[in-house]
Amino acid sequence: MAEAAEANETVQESPAAAAGPPGVLRDRYLIRSNQPIPELSTPNAEAFVAEDKRDANRQLYALICRPELPPRVNVMRALKGVQTPGLVQLVEWGAMNWPPLGRQCMTVVYERPVGQRLTTSLRKEFKRFDEYEIGRKVIEPLVNTIKELTNRGITHRAIRATNLFFMDDAGERLALGDCVTTPPAFDQPMVFESVEAGMANPVARGSGTYSDDLYALGVTIVFAYLGRNPVAHLDEEHLLKQKIQQGSYATLVGDERLPLALVELLRGLLCDDPDQRWNIESLDLWLSGRRLSPLQQRVEKRAARGFPFNGKEYFNCRELSQAMARNWEAAIPPVLEGKLELWLRRAVEDKDRAQVVSDVVRMALTGSGDKRSASDLMLCKVLNILDPTAPIRYKGFNAMPDGFGSALAAVMAQKGDTRLLVEIILREVPRLWFEARHHYLPDNSLMEGNFRELKNYLSKTGMGFGLERCLYELNDALPCQSPLLGEEYITELKELLPALNAAAGKRSDSKAPPVDRHIAAFMGARARSDIDRNLEGLNDPEPGKALLSLLNMYAVFQYRLGPESLPALAAWCGAMAGPVVGAFHSRDKRKELEKDLPKMIRRGSIVEIYNLLENQEAREKDHNEFAWAQAQYQAAEEEIKRVQSDDDERKDEADRIGRQTASVLGIMVAMITTTIVVIMRVW
């Protein structure tokens, strides 16, 4: 991350991708892939000449977003067409097929500045603004821009000297450039970030608040007045350390001689306590000529003696917590051994904080379960105690809560290891961060509830849940990452079925169903109604029931969002219908379905296909007729058994009667014979 941030200090002028035919955005704007504009590129988005078909004289340029980074689509929606003097106008945005990459990319079209960038590198000197013109040319337009963004409920998060452009040749109008092509503050050098935001990984800094923009404004004013970077000699680690030890104002201004009015302004904007930092109202008072008492920098209490850790000594809690967060494994033993508690009691003389640390350590040592996991969570809590304003810190991953989604998106897009992020969710690490907040904020409560939902999604492993569901829940503008969609850039649910219809004819695996884990998770996160029951049905072990659940969702989406005909997708779904048709017992019904299904496929109606296959009346009739047939068959079986049983009984009866008759006849013959013999003797 440090290398990336270092590269961001200079506007990259990398060569464009291989030139090709122009891209076309919204059937109106031509993006010339063979005409790059390196001087307008950002560290992570290349600039190209753009042309408006309706107005050939209009000066425009386009930025092509990197596919692996989630852009700020919600900010694009808010800024499109906004005209304010301190902001380069965002003319249009959208996904476009970009020939050099052979795929769709998010593209943003801007008004092209007439003049140059204020500076192309933070390591170069540039023409400074004196105290008489800096208010009119820099401070006033940028403050008005921040006010405009605040009224729209968004932040810029890219206010820096290398992102300022002169919109005219005379150099009278200065405007802020792009802030939407990458995650919030991803391109920001750490010097423009507050201490707490600077601790976070660049991809996970989050949208923040307008207070973060005001801090960046303060740093930009310092650069503009001096005409150079006053801390160019410091790397990011030492810059952050110096900000923590001395405060931002002292670090950036130092011994520089500034006008009293600017001293007052910069002390207010560069205050490291967000609650004390100047707000819009304070700036309005300053711009109107009212002079306020300059804020005195509050530096954290210095300990009587340093805490030895990893070969160095640390004299305040914030600096120590940052060092421990950077050296996770080495930080656990001294905390478990009670050394930190002892230092807090004796050197810092903060008995309350020491007692809280003692309680946390005791719970980790006496608790049941995995000791390794308990130690990790213990250190996470201790770091929050040492510095409650710092970001979520866990095993080297540092993120603001609202930056977690962009971090997850970047890791998954790059096919990186997501185990640490999963562990953070399952172990409820964000909850520990929220519990350490001193003030109640509605947004924090909302985010805390969202993280609880993420844990529930991770507890389910089927399609529609798991890490993919977390990905789309955290990134409301992220395109669907399913390989079934090819290179289509699908950000809204209404675009899903047409994209699947287009992809249906290109599929290589004819047996693959028209859904996968990404599509299912995308539907679950984007559907306005709760479809989790249907998503659970997708994971039914019976293929027929799983297909009906899918058809139900697709039919609802087609009915509500269109289009009316999706022949290729209907054919794809129809090819999967064998188990559903085979579930009917009636041979005649199966033949009827096999006859009617192709008609509905040709009409491209998934709604009709679903109604045909999930006809409850027909299913009940088939069930009842099958039950009647079963009953009849059972009755016939029993009759056969009875008849067979009767035949056996008659044979036994005949045999018995025959035996009895034979016995009687034998006795009678014997008696007659005996009688005759006796008579003959008498005679």
pLDDT in tens, 57-80: 999 999 999 988 999 999 999 999
CB-count burial class (<10 Å; 0-12, 13-18, 19+) for 596: middle
50 to 28, 36, 72, 109: CA distances (angstroms) = 10, 10, 21, 7
Nearest-angstrom CA–CA distance, 581 and 589: 9
Do strands 392-394 and 29-36 pair parallel, antiparallel, or not at all (unpaired)? unpaired
Counting residues of the chain whose pLDDT is more than 70, the rounded percentage is 92
Nearest-angstrom CA–CA distance, 176 and 161: 9
> What letter represents residue 671's amino acid?
M
Q: Where are the alpha helices (DSSP H) in 414-495?
A: 419-426, 429-435, 442-458, 466-474
Are 115 and 197 spatial neighbours (Cβ–Cβ below 8 Å)?
Answer: no
Q: Which helix (H) or strand (E) holds 304?
A: none
Nearest-angstrom CA–CA distance, 320 and 323: 5
> So what's the pLDDT on residue 337?
95
> So what's the pLDDT on residue 134?
95
Nearest-angstrom CA–CA distance, 148 and 143: 9
- What residues contact residue 234 under an 8 Å CB cut-off, 6+ apart? 242
- What residues contact residue 495 under an 8 Å CB cut-off, 6+ apart? 488
Structure tokens at 549: 């659940």
Identify the CA nearest to 262 among candidates 217, 221, 214, 216: 221
Nearest-angstrom CA–CA distance, 68 and 411: 9
For the stretch 599-641, pLDDT in tens is 999 999 999 999 988 876 666 666 666 567 667 767 777 777 7
Among the residue ranges 47-51, 257-261, 375-379, the one predicted with the least confidence is 257-261
- From-to residues of CATH 1.10.510.10 in the chain: 2-287
Q: Would you place residue 293 in the very low, low, confident or very high pLDDT band (cuts 50, 70, 90)? A: low
For the stretch 426-482, pLDDT in tens is 999 999 999 888 776 777 888 989 999 999 999 999 999 999 999 999 998 899 999
CB-count burial class (<10 Å; 0-12, 13-18, 19+) for 66: middle
Q: For the residues 92-101, what does the mean pLDDT come to?
A: 94
Structure tokens at 615: 């006809």
Nearest-angstrom CA–CA distance, 655 and 405: 90
Nearest-angstrom CA–CA distance, 483 and 65: 20
> So what's the pLDDT on residue 6?
43
> So what's the pLDDT on residue 1?
42
For the entire predicted model, the pTM comes to 0.86
561 to 497, 557, 565, 589: CA distances (angstroms) = 9, 5, 12, 32
Q: Would you place residue 674 in the very low, low, confident or very high pLDDT band (cuts 50, 70, 90)? A: confident
Q: Would you place residue 5 in the very low, low, confident or very high pLDDT band (cuts 50, 70, 90)? A: very low
> So what's the pLDDT on residue 638?
73
Q: Domain 2-287: which CATH class? A: mainly alpha
Are 604 and 564 spatial neighbours (Cβ–Cβ below 8 Å)?
Answer: yes
